[in-house]
Amino acid sequence: MSIKEFEYLDVAIAKLEDKYDDLEELSVVIQDNFFEILKENSIEFLNISARVKSPESLKEKILRNKYYKRYPDGNKLIYNLSDLIGVRIECRFADDERNIYRFFKKYFNKNSDGNYYYNENDDNFYLKLEGKQPQKQKNGFTIYRIDGKYVFNGNDIPFELQIKSLVNMFWGEIEHEIIYKNSNYIIENNFLKDIMGSIKNNLSMIDKQLVTVFNHFETKKKTDSDSRKKHLENIVSKIIYDLFANKMKNSIGMTVDFKKSCETIIRYAFVSEDYESEDKYTEVLIKALTRLSEITNESIDFNSDIMFERKIKFEDEFTKRLGEYFQSVINNEFSWNLFFRILFTLEPLNNAGDFEKFLEFLRVNFIESKYISKQKEVLKEKFKERYIEIENAITLQTVESLIDVDKIDIVYDYNIYDINDEVEDIYRQISNNISSIDQWEKESVRILDKLDAEIKDIFA
The H or E element containing residue 162 is strand 155-165
Task: Give Cα separations from 331 to 33, 70, 338 (angstroms).
Answer: 54, 57, 10
Cα separation, 400 vs 403, in Å, equals 5
> Is the backbone peptide bond immediately before 134 cis, with ω within 30 degrees of 0?
yes
Asked if 128 and 104 count as a contact pair (C-beta separation under 8 A), the reply is no
Asked if 437 and 386 count as a contact pair (C-beta separation under 8 A), the reply is yes
Instruction: Name all domains of the chain by residue range, CATH numbers in brackets.
Output: 4-182 (3.30.460.10), 222-311+332-359 (no CATH), 368-458 (no CATH)
Residue-wise burial string across 428-442, b where 16 or more C-beta atoms lie within 10 A, e elsewhere:
bbbbbbbeebeebee
* CA 130-133-134 angle, 5° bins: 155
Cα separation, 353 vs 360, in Å, equals 11
Asked if 61 and 67 count as a contact pair (C-beta separation under 8 A), the reply is yes
Cα separation, 409 vs 394, in Å, equals 21
Q: What is the dihedral of CA 77, 80, 85, 91, to 10 degrees?
A: -150
Cα separation, 323 vs 355, in Å, equals 8
Residues 6+ apart with CB under 8 A from 114: 130, 446
Asked if 91 and 97 count as a contact pair (C-beta separation under 8 A), the reply is yes
DSSP 269-305: HHHSS---SHHHHHHHHHHHHHHHHHHHTS---SSS-
- As a whole number of Å, the CA-based R_g of the chain is 27
Per-residue pLDDT of the chain (460 residues; tens, 9 = 90+): 457 778 888 899 999 999 999 999 999 999 999 999 999 999 999 899 999 999 998 988 888 888 888 888 888 999 999 999 999 999 988 889 999 999 999 899 888 876 899 998 999 999 998 878 888 876 667 889 999 999 988 889 999 999 998 877 876 666 555 555 454 444 445 545 555 555 556 555 655 655 565 555 555 555 555 656 666 777 788 888 889 999 999 999 998 989 888 888 888 876 555 555 566 666 767 777 778 888 888 889 999 999 999 999 999 999 999 999 999 999 999 999 999 999 999 886 799 999 999 999 999 999 998 888 888 888 898 999 999 999 999 999 999 999 999 999 999 988 998 999 999 989 988 988 898 999 999 999 999 999 999 999 999 8
Q: What is the dihedral of CA 402, 395, 267, 460, to 10 degrees?
A: 30
Under DSSP, the state recorded for 177 is: I
Asked if 256 and 338 count as a contact pair (C-beta separation under 8 A), the reply is yes
Asked if 171 and 199 count as a contact pair (C-beta separation under 8 A), the reply is yes
Q: Comparing C-alpha atoms, which of 172, 205, 211, 183 is closest to residue 93? A: 211
pLDDT at position 227: 59
Q: What is the pTM of this model?
A: 0.62
Cα separation, 421 vs 87, in Å, equals 26
| Residue 298: CB atoms within 10 Å | 8
> If DSSP codes are grouped into helix, strand and coil, which group holds residue 122?
strand
